[in-house]
């Protein structure tokens, strides 16, 4: 039995949803999903109201449609509809990498910036349905670019600024973007990131791109290609400050976001307009118990889905004040997060366990010397939060006063699916607790048989919710294959979970070949193909292993081609190679030279064994008799890298 943290009286007093309401709404959302979602679909502004609510099948060809005959414009929902009431309210607080730089942008100002860029993009020939690749640092222009794209009915695809030119090129090619919006350089922790130079490199292999728009962030020297590249500032200065939003169908694509799968190249997860916005805004309001006037800060990057749903779309649809942070938690000091909380009087703070763990290592003093009196609620996302980090976050950061919402969801789900609601859910450290309205989690065993009651198994979702992804860009077959064939008729999350006697969910981590490094998803197959692309590598196998700060680290077994020497230098070279091929987030933490890999007689690598060795759990390797050459295992155990 783990400790239970009751709902604080202070929280209960003002919370939007109390325990009774949660259960009433939840029951209704399951018994009458059409009625429930018809009602909550009205929380956004429709140009033409929907009459159909839901048309979903998880079988056969799989289709997912919500509010399909309604029309709207997502950017108008995030901007125009707030102007009368809150034109002068701050929409975005921007906090620069350097603590001396910050800005407040009102809804009116943001609206004008978005209109100008929408006009500028239209002048460049970008039309509804076209793909816009955004490769920007955490600056207000990133939100402006997203909303301008939505305003003209285009489809944005944001590529995280930490990805390499090759990774960027792959994502541009997959969706045939006609335009890239980038900056001269990014700035993180005082270091410059050569974004424009990376785009130039990427575009050597991308033929679809006609225009590159460059924001001046650092003023660094960049090469501008005549006829292709233009400065953002010049374009918006020339453009008109008003723009009529384009009327879009509820099911029109809003954005694509590439994420790692268990095999092959990244998947282009497609989200559409109406259902996504209903779900992102509703979860933002109730999970974070957002009240008018609250200052809300999500520390994610807009390159990840968390930034899409909970920095930009959810908060802005709700007329919230959302803080956007360019920097990192330990620059210039390890008090930075809490200094920013005090500077801007942040009430709601949402971050990842990996950040908590790395700050925890620095002790309490850098936290305790700040006030944090404005904080009311804390959130966690991206990976399981270990109870030790949870209690530190609660006791030290929140002074024992602020509930923590541990929110479980995925790029594919568009918004939070399993989470506490602060006024409705007693907390257990390490548990994401209960499903959000309309969400029916289902536990199954390896054969797909449903497991009832307190149990442990694979986590599926029984039916759709409005924020669910609709397909994979250009590959509906892979969409079906990835999510609906393992357990036919159910959405398979790829996660394992435990459900306790109170019906609380405890996410145990991925059960597929995806690893979670500092809350970032990485396909082991992607790292493997980067490694084998190196001329000295014959074969590679990559697995995750428990890492104190990152949650999981990347452990690579590498077989060199005949005659190559395994040296420390080569080890470093391979790490740099992967950084260059994919990006720093894919850097292997440990590389083990392995003369052979454990394979079955049919040539399949037995990853189970590799995982065990990487976890330093080599005593329990299980049955190795089916291996083609059982002796390779002895060598791997002998030379294992993770001795704890």
Annotated binding-site members: 188-191, 306, 330, 382-384, 406-411, 495, 510, 518, 521, 532, 534, 537, 579
Residues marked as binding for CoA? 188-191, 306, 330, 518, 579
Alpha-helix residue ranges (DSSP H) falling in 211-329: 232-238, 274-287, 305-307, 314-317
Closest contact distance (angstroms) between CB of 178 and ligand WT7 is 27
Q: Which is nearer to ligand WT7, 183 or 542 (CB)?
A: 542
- The answer to whether residues 143 and 113 touch, using CB atoms and an 8 Å cutoff, is no
Q: For the residues of 357-425, what is the DSSP string, one character each? A: HHHHTT-SHHHHTS--TT--EEEEESSPPPHHHHHHIIIIISTTTS-EEEEB--GGGSS--B---TTT-
CB of 420 to ligand WT7, least distance (A): 11
CA distances from 306 to 38, 410, 582 (A): 25, 9, 21
Residue 96 or 509 having the CB closest to ligand WT7: 509
Contact between 507 and ligand WT7 by CB under 6 A: the answer reads: yes
Stretch that binds ligand WT7, among 13-21, 162-170, 507-515, 634-642 (CB under 6 A): 507-515
Pick between residue 270 and residue 432 the one whose CB is nearest to ligand WT7: 432
337 binds ligand WT7 (CB under 6 A): no
Looking at the Cβ atoms of 409 and 479, the one nearer to ligand WT7 is 409
> Which of the stretches 65-73, 239-247, 376-384, 392-400 binds ligand WT7 when contact is defined by CB under 6 A?
376-384
* Upstream peptide bond of 417 is cis (omega within 30 degrees of 0): no
Instruction: Write the DSSP assignment of 427-453 as a string of letters.
Output: B-TT--BSBPTT--EEEE-TT--EE-S
The nearer residue to ligand WT7, 53 or 497, going by C-beta atoms, is: 497
In the list 54, 217, 243, 521, the residue contacting ligand WT7 (rule: CB under 6 A) is 521
Query: 206 or 312: whose CB is closer to ligand WT7?
Result: 312
**Nearest CA to 467 among 413, 509, 539?**
413
Token pair of 542, please?
A: 């990559």
Tokens at residue 244, please? 């009529």
Q: Nearest distance from residue 99's CB to ligand WT7, in Å?
A: 27
User: What length is written for the chain?
Assistant: 644
Minimum Å gap between C-beta 410 and ligand WT7 is 4
Q: Is 182 in the site for ligand WT7 (CB under 6 A)?
A: no
Contacting ligand WT7 (CB under 6 A), which of 494, 583, 588, 598?
A: 494
Contact partners, residue 12, CB within 8 Å, separation at least 6: 18, 423
Q: How far apart are CA 421 and CA 405, in angstroms?
A: 7
Annotated binding site for ATP: 382-384, 406-411, 495, 510, 521
Closest CA to 460 of 442, 436, 478: 442
Q: Which of residues 381-420 bind ligand WT7 (CB under 6 A)?
A: 381-384, 406-411
Identified binder of ligand WT7 from the candidate list 198, 516, 592, 594, rule CB under 6 A: 516
Pairing of strands 520-523, 321-325: unpaired
Compare residues 391 and 410 and give the one whose CB is closer to ligand WT7.
410
Binding-site members for Mg(2+) are: 532, 534, 537
Q: What is the Cα–Cα distance from 365 to 330, expressed in whole angstroms?
A: 14
Least separation, in Å, of the C-beta of 418 and ligand WT7?
Answer: 8
Tell me how far apart the terminal alpha carbons of the chain are, to the nearest angstrom: 28
Interface residues with ligand WT7 (CB under 6 A)? 259, 304-306, 381-384, 406-411, 432, 493-495, 507, 509-510, 516, 521
């Amino acid at each position: 039995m783990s400790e239970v943290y009751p709902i604080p009286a202070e929280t209960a007093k003002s919370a939007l949803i109390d325990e009774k309401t949660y259960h009433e709404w939840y029951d209704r959302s399951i018994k009458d999903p059409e009625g429930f979602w018809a009602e909550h679909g009205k929380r956004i502004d429709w140009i033409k109201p929907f009459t159909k609510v839901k048309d979903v099948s998880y079988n056969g060809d799989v289709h997912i449609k919500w509010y399909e005959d309604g029309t709207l414009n997502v950017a108008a929902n995030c901007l125009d509809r707030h102007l009368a009431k809150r034109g002068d309210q701050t929409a975005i607080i921007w906090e620069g990498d350097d603590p001396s730089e910050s800005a407040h942008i009102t809804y009116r100002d943001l609206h004008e910036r978005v209109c100008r860029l929408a006009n500028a993009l239209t002048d460049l020939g970008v039309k509804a349905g076209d793909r816009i690749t955004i490769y920007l640092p955490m600056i207000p222009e990133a939100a402006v670019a997203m909303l301008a794209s939505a305003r003209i009915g285009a489809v944005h695809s944001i590529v995280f600024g930490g990805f390499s030119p090759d990774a960027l090129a792959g994502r541009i090619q997959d969706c045939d973007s006609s335009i890239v919006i980038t900056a001269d350089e990014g700035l993180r922790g005082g270091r410059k990131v050569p974004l424009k130079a990376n785009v130039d490199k990427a575009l050597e292999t991308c033929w679809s791109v006609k225009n590159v728009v460059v924001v001046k962030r650092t003023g660094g020297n960049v090469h501008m290609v005549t006829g292709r590249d233009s400065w953002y500032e010049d374009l918006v200065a020339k453009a008109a400050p008003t723009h009529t939003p384009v009327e879009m169908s509820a099911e029109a694509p809003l954005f694509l976001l590439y994420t790692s799968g268990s095999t092959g190249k990244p998947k282009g997860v497609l989200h559409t307009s109406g259902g996504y916005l209903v779900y992102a805004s509703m979860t933002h309001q109730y999970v974070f118990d957002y009240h008018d006037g609250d200052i809300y800060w999500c520390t994610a990057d807009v390159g990840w889905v968390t930034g899409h749903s909970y920095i930009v779309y959810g908060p802005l649809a709700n007329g919230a004040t959302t803080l956007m942070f360019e920097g990192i938690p330990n620059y210039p000091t390890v008090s930075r997060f809490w200094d920013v909380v005090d500077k801007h009087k942040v009430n709601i703070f949402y971050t990842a366990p990996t950040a908590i763990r790395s700050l925890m290592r620095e002790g309490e003093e850098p936290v305790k010397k700040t006030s944090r009196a404005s904080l009311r609620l804390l959130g966690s996302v991206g990976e399981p939060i270990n109870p030790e980090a949870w209690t530190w976050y609660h006791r030290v950061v929140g002074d024992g006063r602020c509930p923590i919402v541990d929110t479980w969801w995925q790029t594919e789900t568009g918004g939070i699916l399993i989470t506490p609601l602060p006024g409705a859910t007693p907390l257990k450290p390490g548990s994401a607790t209960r499903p959000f309205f309309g969400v029916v989690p289902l536990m199954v065993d390896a054969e797909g048989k449903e497991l009832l009651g307190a149990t442990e198994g694979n986590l599926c979702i029984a039916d759709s919710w409005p924020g669910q992804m609709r397909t994979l860009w250009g590959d509906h077959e892979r969409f079906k294959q990835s999510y609906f064939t393992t357990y036919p008729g159910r959405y398979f999350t790829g996660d394992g979970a435990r459900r306790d006697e109170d019906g609380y969910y405890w996410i145990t981590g991925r059960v597929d070949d995806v690893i979670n490094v500092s809350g970032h998803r990485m396909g082991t197959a992607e790292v493997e193909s980067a490694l084998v692309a190196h001329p000295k590598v014959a074969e590679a196998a990559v697995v995750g292993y428990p890492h104190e700060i990152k949650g999981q680290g990347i452990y690579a077994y590498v077989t060199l081609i005949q005659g190559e020497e395994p040296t420390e230098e080569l080890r470093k070279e391979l790490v740099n190679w992967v950084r260059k091929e994919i990006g720093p987030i894919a850097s292997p933490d440990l590389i083990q030279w392995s003369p052979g890999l454990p394979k079955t007689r049919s040539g399949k690598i037995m990853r189970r064994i590799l995982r065990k060795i990487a976890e330093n759990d080599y005593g329990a390797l299980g049955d190795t008799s089916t291996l083609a050459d059982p002796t390779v295992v002895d060598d791997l155990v002998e030379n294992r890298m993770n001795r704890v």
